[in-house]
Amino acid sequence: MSSELRSSLGPLAGLKVLDLTQFLSGPYATQILGDLGAEVVKVEPPEGDMTRQLPPYFVGADSAYYHCVNRNKRSLAVDLKSEEGSALVRDLAVASDVVVENFRPGVLDRLGLRYADIAANKRSLVWCSISGFGQSGPYRDRPAYDMIVQAMSGGMSLTGEADGHPVRSGIPLGDLAAGMYGVIGLLAALLDARRTGHGRHVDIAMLDCQISMLSYQGAYHLVSGHVPGRQGRGHDSIPTYRAFTCGDGADVVITANTERMWQSLCGVLRRSDLAGDERFVVNEIRFRNRIELWAVIEPIFLTRSSVEWVEALRAAEIPAAVVNTLDRSLSDDQVLYRNMVLDLSSPDQRLRVPGNPVKYVGESEIAHRFPPGLGTDEDEVLSTLLGFSAEKIGTLRRTGIIGPRRDRTERPASAGSRGVAK
């Protein structure tokens, strides 16, 4: 980004967020808040967020998985199963503006952390619950993970080749969408709380989010009764919105979705005759005859490399791109210019992770904090938020109410890992 941009604390500077989340959907939501300047305190069990131990790649004591969704946070390890630990977290919730949790419904209630009870001591508190199926309904108590809701929503049935098996999206859409919708819901509730003084309990279900994201495919079924199948390489309405394999073995996607683009595509393919072919004259007719159209186009793409095709297509103002592998996408000039690969460092570690997509014109991003080690911020958090003395914090630590309960030794850098201990 330009060095002339003014520095920023982020639009959520001063917002206090208590993060009671683990794994992916909840930590992704709270990381978004931290990226925007909020003060996020992550409360973990004494053993830590389970993703700290997920193989195959580690930076220091913690996994690359953990590091990718936990920057800009402070960590506090608390034994929530003890009365003292539960009371401590209740105090932290009252001292916060927002609580985000992704436990199964009822779990926090049993631990004495019920929204209604805590909100009675702070009416403006916004509480966001992210779960598989929400706080109500016949599936309320079922556990759920990303692939479960991808499968149940029908989204997985749309993914994969037409003659193949359903395929899970390579991006964990079930988790990430729930995190994003959670942020949308809690920010809206915060705006209303600033106006009325009353917070809300935001109820985000991963399955709900995936159903919403069925978008036009869901509408097509509800209007027609037709059950769409796997989409493969293309689009269910536009036959020239599709991937094609090129002579170098790489795939190129083209999105020739207007009549002008179709005519230009015919010129780039050196088959201007196709534009006047009665089988392909307009999109509705092309769609009916798409199998015949692909049979004509596919061999042509095999005659040149992917780079040559992309250059020719873009010159004709037809949007096109090579289907990148991650090594190419994460080193792309546009991606790097937009600061979408972050360099994070601590006194003894460094790593690179995907960045924050929310930009503000004329402002630089906040200075990102390295993801915290387990329980490393206990003294700072408890003294600042709750006014605890060093003696009281020491007592909590000695009695096991706070503090890690597992070895935090560093691991050797994993093979192929570029995020390593210094």
Torsion of CA 294, 298, 300, 305, to 10 degrees: 140
Angle between helices 259-268 and 306-315 in degrees, nearest 10: 130
Task: Of 211, 222, 209, 204, give the one whose Cα is nearest residue 157.
Answer: 211
Q: Is 175 a catalytic residue?
A: yes
Catalytic residue (choose from 19, 49, 97, 175): 175
Residue whose C-alpha is closest to residue 125's, from 133, 134, 112, 114: 114
**Terminal-residue alpha carbon distance, the chain:** 26
Residue type, 239: P
Measured CA to CA in angstroms, residue 257 lies from 84, 107, 242 at distances of 61, 49, 10
Maximum separation of any 2 CA atoms in the chain, in Å: 85
Both tokens assigned to 7: 């520095």
Q: Tell me the HSE value of 324 on the side-chain side, using a 13 A CA sphere.
A: 10
What sign for the dihedral angle of Cα 398, 402, 403, 405? positive
What's the order of all strands across the beta sheet hosting 251-255? 241-245, 251-255, 320-322
Exposure string over 255-282, b if 16+ CB within 10 A, otherwise e: bbbeeebbebbbebbeeeebeebeebee
Just list the catalytic residues.
175
